[in-house]
Amino acid sequence: MNSNRFDTKGPNKSEIQDLTKLPRYLSFTLLAVSVIISVLLGFISLYESRRITSSEAKKHLKVLLEKSAIQIENRIGKAEFFSNYLSRITSENLENLNDIYGNEKKQKDLENRLKDQFLTAINATGANSAWAHFDPQTIKGVVHVSYYRKDKKINQGGRFDISKSEFYQDDWFQKALSDGFYWTKPYHWKYWDERVITYSRAVLVDGKSVGVVGNDFYMDDIFNELSKVRIYESGTIILVNENFDVLFHPDQKIQNLRSHHFPPNSEIPEVIHSSDKPFDIIEHRENNTDKLLAYQKLSNGWILLTEPSTSEMFAAQNNLSHNLLLILLIGILVSICISFYLGKAIASPIIQLYNELIQKNKELSRKNHEIESQKKELDFYANYDALTGIANRRAGIMYLNQRIESACKLDIDLTIAFIDINNLKTVNDTLGHEEGDRLIKFVADTISSFLTKEDMVARLGGDELLMILWDCREKDAIERIHKIETSIQEKNSLSYPVTFSYGTETYPTRQKEKIDIEEFIKIADEKMYVHKKKTKKKLVTKTI
């Protein structure tokens, strides 16, 4: 047998060296796989974190803008309501316009009456100002009323002839005369030494504008409110009008956003104007930088804007990326040193990172629930009266608009009742505001118990309520009101009689020409005043 038939030599030196390198190859292979996985997990985590942060930031911006919008809308509503009230009482004093034409004595009597009524109104409402100017061409004379609040005191403005002043052609006077009302840009009113925004309203007599009344926002008040809002570290809220003229900006030198904020030929202002959304967020890119612009439209055409810094928004994610890189480098060094325990050494920081991400996700979820809860609370205060729990003026007007549209389409009767609680001021003055609150709530609760699911009662403000009665004729509405009066008398546990004055009106759904909602409410309001003059009684308490 041939002994050379089988090769009896062992492995050569090269093969042995290859075998000794195998563990090293395996360790580096595992290291490479672990590094790749770590990098992928890091990028995925960073991407998901940025996505969640962006989503939460948008929700946060919406809540902040809505909260600020509620504050500004409250000021707008008070200003418009107060000027409308001044216009109405001024018109009531001008029923005999021809009698005061050119008659200085009667003009002086008119001016004194208005001064008393305006002073009472500004004291009762806490308004910053109340004033009236008449077109001299209409009354052939000068009638001027002006009160303003400064240093917590009510002062009387200087008297002057508007037609001979530098202000006669100003928009706050001429625009209000021609258009019925006008909101100005901020300006300095030298007579009061205040920077103001004015809401002016025309005074109508027989449909003709004979003068202008109004009141003012003090810019210091708006500045103090909005300057407190901070978005991340440096972000702020900006308030502009429909032409993007600046009403509030931390940099008071900026007068218009089109020329100072947006790049040339930017379509963003047109996008905001054309949008039918009251709130939206515009994502855009400027100078190779991604940006978020959030806006909230207000009822009078003003717009709240904010453009937070994306670097501040994603500051945590940028720090996370640096930390991930540092962890990755440390992991590689440790893995090389202890190659036999490579898997465990790399898996541990990955698991730790994963657990941290889970914890962050839980924290983000919790914050999301908190924001949702805050949003529901804001929604409540935006639509309901805090004292009575019924709809507020804003919600009531919106619902009435919807009901009018439906009633016209379905040819259904829609009646409103303007309710004014009698003697509320007397109750507040003699028994205290808490007792006045109980009176308002008692009347509101009693009225609510007589409504169907299609009806609504809203508090317009103070002692005024508005009933919206679906599929109800005016005589049926009056019958229901009588039942409410009877129920109030039977259930009254207060120490004094509880009554209210009312005026009803059915919407003319079958007429081709529809009336404006404000005119609709005004008709019911005027009927209420007629009823009040007939039935108002003095407050008589049972106990002293």
Rounded distance, CA 439 to CA 392, Å?
17
Residue 413 lies in a domain: yes
Relative to beta strand 414-421, strand 456-461 is unpaired
Inter-residue contact 431 to 541 (CB < 8 Å): yes
Q: Is the pLDDT of residue 196 over 80?
A: yes
Q: What are the two backbone dihedrals, phi and then psi, of residue 221, each rounded to the nearest 5 degrees?
A: -65, -45
pLDDT of residue 299: 84
- For 19, the token pair is 């075998």
pLDDT of residue 2: 46
Residue 480 lies in a domain: yes
- For 421, the token pair is 């609680």
Residues in a beta bridge with 155: 148
pLDDT of residue 87: 92
pLDDT of residue 440: 96
Average pLDDT, the chain: 82
Q: Which residue in 280, 217, 288 sits closest to 248, CA to CA?
A: 217
**Domain closes at, from 190, 221, 252:** 221
Q: Is the pLDDT of residue 200 over 90?
A: yes
- CATH number of the domain residue 208 falls in: 3.30.450.20
pLDDT of residue 461: 92
Residues 6+ apart with CB under 8 A from 257: 238, 240, 244, 246, 269, 305
Rounded distance, CA 448 to CA 446, Å?
5
User: Would you put residue 245 in left (φ > 0), alpha (ψ -120 to 50) or beta?
Assistant: beta
**Domain closes at, from 173, 195, 221:** 221
Q: Name the band, by pLDDT with cuts 50, 70 and 90, for residue 101.
A: confident
Residue 271 lies in a domain: no
Mean pLDDT confidence for 17-21: 61
Give CA separation, 277 vs 84, 241, 280, in Å: 28, 16, 6
Residue 273 lies in a domain: no
Lowest mean pLDDT: which of 66-75, 204-213, 253-262?
A: 253-262
Relative to beta strand 153-156, strand 181-183 is unpaired
Residue 55 lies in a domain: no
Count of the separate structural domains present in the chain: 2
Cα 513 to chain centroid, rounded: 33
- What is the DSSP track for 444-490? HHHHHTT--TT-EEEEEETTEEEEEEET--HHHHHHHHHHHHHHHHH
Residue 280 lies in a domain: no
Q: Which residue in 186, 158, 310 sits closest to 245, CA to CA?
A: 186
pLDDT of residue 538: 44
Greater confidence (394 vs 250) lies with: 394
Greater confidence (119 vs 328) lies with: 119
- For 32, the token pair is 């490479």
Greater confidence (526 vs 219) lies with: 526
Number of H helices, E strands in the chain: 16, 17
Q: Is the pLDDT of residue 540 over 60?
A: no
DSSP element (H, E) containing 418: strand 414-421
Longest dimension (CA), the chain: 152
pLDDT of residue 328: 67
Mean pLDDT confidence for 134-154: 85
- Number of neighbours of residue 124 by Cβ within 10 angstroms: 11
- CATH number of the domain residue 513 falls in: 3.30.70.270
User: Where are the alpha helices (H) located in 340-453, listed in sequence order?
Assistant: 342-383, 393-410, 424-431, 433-448
**Domain closes at, from 165, 192, 221:** 221
Inter-residue contact 161 to 168 (CB < 8 Å): no
- For 151, the token pair is 């240093």
Residue 438 lies in a domain: yes
Q: Which residue in 541, 503, 500 sits closest to 522, CA to CA?
A: 503
Greater confidence (383 vs 418) lies with: 418
Mean pLDDT confidence for 179-206: 87
Inter-residue contact 127 to 82 (CB < 8 Å): yes
pLDDT of residue 499: 95
Mean pLDDT confidence for 500-524: 90
Q: In which domain, by residue range, is 103 found? A: 93-221
- Report how far apart the first and last C-alpha atoms of the chain are (Å, whole number): 139
Question: pLDDT tens digit string along 444-492?
Answer: 999 999 999 999 999 999 999 999 999 999 999 999 999 999 999 999 9
- For 189, the token pair is 């009113």
Residues in a beta bridge with 392: 459
Rounded distance, CA 443 to CA 396, Å?
17
Mean pLDDT confidence for 145-169: 86
Tell me if residue 536 falls in helix, strand or coil.
Answer: coil
Rounded distance, CA 71 to CA 142, Å?
37
Mean pLDDT confidence for 412-439: 96
Residue 483 lies in a domain: yes
Residues in a beta bridge with 200: 182, 214
Rounded distance, CA 74 to CA 87, Å?
20
